[in-house]
Amino acid sequence: SSHIPASMSLAPTPDDESLRRADGSSSNGGWLKKAMVLGQIGSRVKDTAKEASANPGHTPLDFVGECNLPTQFGDFKLRAYRGFKQNGDVNEPTVVVAGDVSGHDVPVRVHDQCFTSEVLGSQRCDCKEQLEATMKLLAETGRGIIIYLQQEGRGIGLANKVAAYGLQDKGLDTVDANLQLGFADESREYGVVPTILQDLGIQSIKL
């Protein structure tokens, strides 16, 4: 098992609370609230960069909400967070939770989004099978989490992933295809993982 560092506070700021309330859920003045959200994004990107530099390895996140998640594998909780990637893009990681996960030796899978496999059933990878196998395992054991990250195509995004697939069809491997498109061989970010583990009270994990 691995010890999880605990070095940052997730206490919401007044701006965080405003961001959550400015979701346009009220029909009265919804357009104005959405404008407020867009206005706050710029300041939150700056805050994120400042907080990240103060807490190396941790990416600041806001907790957005939690709901029940009934599935074919069993019943879970689904937690949603919001933050910003290093390039300023909005990042919304989610966590599938089974049972009480506070404490030590918690089963954890960090899973990168794969639309082509998980939604379209592509046979180019086994991401869907890995995700489903983990959900079955957590349902059987009754404890653990899946941290689901929006990192399609090793972090280059869905459209670029399709372009990379096109280059792979011509003989390039995954890394060379990404490099030819102008991306690094690895564009994924995992700074949100320790932040989420700390928020859930997880002290050590089993991968």
pLDDT in tens, 169-191: 999 998 999 999 999 888 888 99
Helix (H, G, I), strand (E, B) or coil at 113: coil
Q: Which residue has the tokens 């349902």?
A: 139
Tokens of 88: 């300023």
Give φ, ψ of 72 to 5 degrees.
-65, -15
Per-residue pLDDT at 73: 96
pLDDT band at 68 (very low <50, low <70, confident <90, very high): very high
Res 66 pLDDT > 90: yes
Res 50 pLDDT > 50: no
How many whole angstroms separate alpha carbon 145 and alpha carbon 114? 18
Q: Per residue in 121-147, pLDDT tens? A: 999 999 999 999 999 999 999 999 999
